[in-house]
Amino acid sequence: MTKLGLPAATVRRARKLAGQAVAPVVELARTHTTVSVERAVLRLAGMTGTDPTLGDGEIPWVNRVVDTVREQVGLENGVALPVWHQLRTGGHASLDELAEKVGSGSVRFAVPEGKDADRARRAALAATKRGLARVDRNRRERERLIKRIGDPTQRPWIYLIVATGDIYEDIPQAQAAARAGADVVAVIRSTGQSLLDYVPEGATRQGYAGTYATQENFRLMRAALDDVSREVGRYVRLTNYASGLCMPEIATLAGLERLDMMLNDSMYGILFRDINPIRTFVDQRFSRMVHARAGIIINTGEDNYLTTADAVDEAHTVTVSQLINEAFAHEAGLADWQLGLGHAFEINPDLPESFRLELAHAMLARELFPDAPLKWMPPTKHMTGDVFRGYLLDGFFNLVGTMTGQGILLVGMMTEAVVTPWLSDRDLALQNVRYVLNAAGGLHEDFRPARDGFIANRARQVLGEAVELLERIVDDGLLDAIADGTFGITKRPADRGKGLDGVVRRADGYHNPALELMEAQA
């Protein structure tokens, strides 16, 4: 029996409805591909670099090759068959050489048939296997380092953000955060990167309110955190963002460079970046299969709903989104321990009983997803610039986190929404977290609300409202629910949004070696 006395039949009904809600969208993802999925296949096979003949060299070869294949023969059959057929028959020494010839305009792609198609398929599978083997080695290396260096002994894990725009400035800040107690370091992406339909190349030093997500930046930060992990005696995890128009590619790069967590919500890009829903769901399925293979923990973005919608009236939409995220994740092969489902402390503090309501919502999430490392997000919407009040709110947020056994705690800053926090702000915030965890770290073992009291009744009410909403979503369809503004009050129709032109319906002969290999394992 749960602490809240949640009706088991209602919980089962909620999960069944979530599965029914996502099933048509999963089928949509299974029958479509996108330019980013196809580019991810080439990245997994080892294609790197940019075309120096275009602009300032920012257009990656994977973009040039996929775009050329699409122009010449279409993407309905995938990029793998035309590319590896050309690689085998065109006298190219490597994928990179093929890409350079594409750049010079001297390559004509064709979709092979018969034995030629079989040979191209085998070659593509072999190349993709090598990339997945690197992902597998990184997963084993993470496990080895955790065993050798040690894991944080206390939950929740303390999660801190760095993002100066300059990877070489981010590194010392990240190491300082680890020394001060951070268990997870997240590098915020440069503003607007989610809307770029390409991944920048190399180490970057000029991001805007964040640092560009690139393979080289991933490699540099992972190496730096490995060094400080040995110093502090615990494995420090690295987080970035697999969202936006290049979600599958960034997920692939994360697997190739041993990142440990990735922001990867099923609907965030749709609602808050106006990316086409179909593009997002197709890209999301591929990216989550990569994360499953790589042993990466995903973080979802339900906290964002509460920045646009009322945290009390719309609490059930957070629960619905968590259940939908879980259903999508399981279908893609992610295990419960990889589901950093999000929620937040965003109720107006002037509302009577706001703390009890926060406890109810946090306990509901904890009991619905007992094996998930839930990600608990600090107050932002009602931070006013009064640093003393903000510091107190963050203390209450930390207390709810430990009372309800959250898995990942993003450290709240007293200057949130006022300025970019100084290192001194982070130090004070960490002092707040350490005090609460040291003083009340085991409180979730003792805290049991009255079975028919305010907290338990509120949790059951939200669960009931979530089931009612899921019933409507099943009847109307998830895509229509998104179009109607069900989540975060933002309306996003399925036939609009950025990136729709990058969606392609698969032909009967479609071949994607990465999907074939990952689906076989899942």
- 375 is known as an active-site residue: yes
- 16 is known as an active-site residue: no
The one catalytic residue among 303, 305, 394, 425: 303
Within 10 angstroms of residue 285's Cβ, the number of other Cβ atoms is 25
DSSP, res 235 = P
> In three state form, how does the secondary structure of 164-204 look?
CCCHHHHHHHHHHHHHCCCCEEEECCCCCHHHCCCCCCCCC
Looking up tokens 């009064």 gives 386
Closest CA to 322 of 293, 356, 347, 299: 299
Helix-helix angle 167-179:423-440, to 10 degrees: 30
The one catalytic residue among 268, 305, 391, 510: 268
User: Please, what sign has the CA dihedral across residues 8, 10, 14, 20?
Assistant: positive
CA distance 318 to 268: 12
- 129 is known as an active-site residue: no
The one catalytic residue among 241, 260, 375, 391: 375
Which residues, 6 or more positions from 227, have their beta carbon under 8 angstroms from its beta carbon? 175
CA-to-CA separations, 486 to 22, 208, 267, 358, 480, in angstroms, rounded: 15, 31, 11, 22, 9
In the chain, helix, strand, coil percent, each to 5?
Answer: 55, 10, 35
**Residue numbers annotated as active site:** 268, 303, 375
